[in-house]
Chain A
Amino acid sequence: MPEQYKLILKHADEPGYTPDLGCYLRHGGYEALKKAFATSPRALADGKSLSPQEVVRDDVKASGLRGRGGAGFSAGLKWSFVDRRSGKPIYLICNADESEPGTFKDRQIMHKDPHQLIEGMIISCWANDVKLAYIYIRGEMPHGAKLLEQALAEARNAGFLGKNILGTGYNLEIYVHRGAGAYICGEETGLIESLEGKRAYPRIKPPYFPAVLGLYMCPTIVNNVETLCHVKHIVTMGAGEYAKLGTPNNTGTRIVSLSGDVKQPGYYEIEVGKVTLGQLINDANFGGGLKPGRSLKAVIPGGSSSKVLKAGEVFKLNRKGADGQMTKVDVPMLDLPYDFDSLQAAGTMSGSSAIIVLDDSRSMVETLANLAEFYAHESCGQCTPCREGALWLAKGLHRLSHGEGRKADAEYLSHIAQNIQGRTICAFGEAAAWPVLSFIKKFKDEFEAQGAADEAAHAKGAGPSHELKLAASPNQH
């Protein structure tokens, strides 16, 4: 039976492990930073050589590390896009906005092991010639913000931060910046606007790629909390050893947030791709299975924005056979390795690695209505398709889940969602559309039956055709 592999959360939940510097140092803290500073230049075959900073950047690329915030983009590649010739300062921002519904992993790191994040950040900043960096933490984590501020002060006093760090001549400041309750601040260009003291209106790309025109129109790196922590371990282990963790192209470990209808919801760190979706849900080491008497209905595999998977679905995936040839094989949904590529091949994504499990007691209409309300509330309002469309979706689903639906609603809602995706400034448009499109595609019968039942009940002058279970919530609009 597969087990957890605790790299990032190695110490976090150990009894007696505290978030202060002393404890971190007793557990080998800031040794990776010293190792990074001691990196030697590396000679290349063509006679040129890499500076120590370039060596670390190269190692991050070679490690295969992919972003843990949502898109799964290669961290090393992202760093290589940074405009280093502009003469402008380069900034680094840690995205600690953690607000994709279902996700609660960065919270564990920041509250239990803040110095690990700070060490990862200092190494990443040094490797990228960054002198000023920020941790953008969501406003609803006031304790996390205080803990990070304390940890930064400790690091400063101990000479890991500030002027002439550990006598190397390198200067770096890191500050905590608090958000104020808007999901869109997690989108990196919205985050940058917010950090500039403005509304978090995402910027259009091109031209505003953060690596070129980011914070204050300077080159900027935005990485997730967990991604930056991994940098520390890449330095400690070496890129080669790190890349042995996980599976090819899906290296390292990842913290999975598991919630919904399982016996043991919680966060579980795994080697990427070494554990299947089914094992995460059912094994005693992980979710422990569904509640007694219940069966699986659906899985939201990568945060609320990812496309839903239906129990019993089977996917055709490329697999390398013993002879090295790629062949298509049938992979049932629960046998999907939990990694970036497999979930993408299954038409969805591992996103923020947040799994929400739905059992057979759940109404897909009500579930989707709940999510649609989130997106209607969180649209920043810049783009008409998103601002209006997200609201229409929420209203339509509110109606359908409150006994006022029509059979044609399924088509109507899909149509709206189709007119949002691909027509907006930022990926929030897809985030709002994908749940709707996938829920209705895969559970069309349920949506149509509910609408038809409402129509029939209405024709007879009867009350709602069904009972509300989940969203006894007032529609907020």
Chain B
Amino acid sequence: MSFAVSAQLEARLDELTTHYPVKRSASLMFLHALQEEFGHISPEAVEWTARKLGLQPINVYELVTFYPMFRQERVGKTHVKVCRTLSCALAGSASIREHFCKKLGLDAHAHTPQTTPDGKFTVEFVECLAACGTAPVVLVNENLHEQVTTAKADAILAGGV
């Protein structure tokens, strides 16, 4: 897919830069918007952002590599982020992640995000999602699922999102 920012998106981003006295501040918001649109941050997206904000590409690239939410590879349409941190671990999040992986034929022992070959699902561990009272929690794309059981996990997989 070639990298082309629609006029509509560009207008939205231009408006964003007006929120800050220094354009560079809009970097993270640009990257969020571009990742939402294109699914990941490509080298073209980095260069485009740098050009728009009057920066060197390295200034943007170093953000993509620092902030865990930004990714340089494509991920599954349904992105399952299982909370790994203590309260969720106490409530069994490790077995929830394993369940997702097994159901999808992914390697439950791998360290990095796992994506199904058909590109439909990615499963990964993330750190505390600030919903520890309803552990274990799973963020699926933009939706938070709380008190997740294996049955709920199956429902998430069946529903796509």
List residues of A whose CB falls within 8 A of some B CB: 98-104, 106-107, 132, 138-143, 173, 175, 177-183, 194-200, 216, 257-261, 265-267, 300, 304, 354, 356, 358, 362, 367, 370-371, 373-374, 377-378, 470-477
Q: Does A475 lie within 8 Å of B132, measured CB to CB?
A: no
Checking A98, A101, A142, A474 against B86 with a beta-carbon cut-off of 8 angstroms, the contacting residue is A101
Cα–Cα, bound, A173→B19 (Å):
9
Checking A138, A175, A178, A258 against B133 with a beta-carbon cut-off of 8 angstroms, the contacting residue is A258
Smallest distance from the beta carbon of B130 to chain A beta carbons, Å? Answer: 5
Q: Does A175 lie within 8 Å of B109, measured CB to CB?
A: no
Mark B54-75 against chain A: 1 for CB-CB distance below 8 A, else 0: 0100010011001111100000
Cα–Cα, bound, A259→B130 (Å):
11
- Whether, in the assembled complex, B28 has its beta carbon less than 8 Å from a beta carbon of chain A, the answer is yes
List residues of B whose CB falls within 8 A of some A CB: 19-22, 24-29, 31-32, 53, 55, 59, 62-63, 66-70, 81, 84-87, 89-90, 94-95, 97-98, 109-111, 125-135, 139, 142, 144
Q: Does B130 lie within 8 Å of A141, measured CB to CB?
A: yes
Cα–Cα, bound, A299→B87 (Å):
12
Q: Which 8 A-B pairs have the closest CB atoms?
A: A180-B67, A181-B69, A197-B27, A181-B68, A197-B24, A259-B87, A259-B132, A180-B69
Cα–Cα, bound, A177→B81 (Å):
22
Given contacts A177-B28, A178-B32, A473-B125, contact A107 B66 (CB under 8 A): no
Smallest distance from the beta carbon of B16 to chain A beta carbons, Å? Answer: 9
* 30 residue pairs A–B, Cβ–Cβ below 8 Å: A99-B130, A101-B85, A107-B130, A107-B131, A139-B67, A139-B69, A140-B139, A143-B142, A178-B28, A180-B28, A180-B32, A181-B126, A197-B27, A197-B63, A200-B66, A265-B133, A265-B134, A265-B135, A266-B133, A358-B90, A374-B84, A377-B127, A470-B90, A471-B89, A472-B95, A473-B89, A473-B125, A474-B110, A474-B111, A476-B111
Q: Does A194 lie within 8 Å of B28, measured CB to CB?
A: yes
Smallest distance from the beta carbon of B94 to chain A beta carbons, Å? Answer: 4
Residue of A nearest to B144 (CB): A143
- What A residues does B68 contact at CB under 8 A? 180-182
Cα–Cα, bound, A199→B81 (Å):
23
Cα–Cα, bound, A431→B96 (Å):
28
Cα–Cα, bound, A405→B90 (Å):
22
Q: Specify which of A102, A362, A474, A475 lies most central, judged by the most chain B CB atoms within 10 Å of its CB.
A: A474
Cα–Cα, bound, A104→B55 (Å):
36
Cα–Cα, bound, A48→B47 (Å):
57
- What A residues does B31 contact at CB under 8 A? 180
Cα–Cα, bound, A99→B68 (Å):
13
- What A residues does B24 contact at CB under 8 A? 196-198
- What A residues does B127 contact at CB under 8 A? 99, 101, 183, 374, 377-378
Q: Does B22 lie within 8 Å of A139, measured CB to CB?
A: no
Smallest distance from the beta carbon of A369 to chain B beta carbons, Å? Answer: 10
- What B residues does A471 contact at CB under 8 A? 89, 94
